[in-house]
A = this chain, B = another copy of it.
């Protein structure tokens, strides 16, 4: 394996391992919350988008409006989402997180950050600098609009 390909290989392995860990932790949290993944995804989307219509959700999740409507209905009944009429277009609905929904999302982010912080705390300050430098570079190359929802 050449030098540059082993560099790429290291990066790929790092990303693979990290995402795998993140993925498993996330699955666990969602399951523990009593929600399903599609339901939770909607909460995450609304966390980052603050407010949107139903069609935005179905578009983002690549499901039908009907499916999105049914998912939203459950979240509204669970008290996690608020659904109001859009005053500018009375066909549309404005969806946003309820206070309870916000708390749940924040708890999930806290859980997600817990193991990251453990990792970070294991490192020397100089090492943190190295990892952060790599991440800064990675972030600068990732598509800007790629919000985590």
Contacts and interface: CB of A to CB of B under 8 A. Distances in A.
Contacts of A135: 10-11, 13-15, 134
Nearest to A8: B120
Task: Summarize A's interface: helix, strand, loop or mixed.
Answer: helix
A132 B78 CA distance: 44
A116 B112 CA distance: 22
A21 B17 CA distance: 14
Q: How large is the interface on A (under 10, 10 to 19, 20 to 34, 35 or more residues)?
A: 35 or more
Nearest to A135: B14
Contacts of A112: 16
Given A7-B129, A120-B8, A132-B7, A138 B14 contact: yes
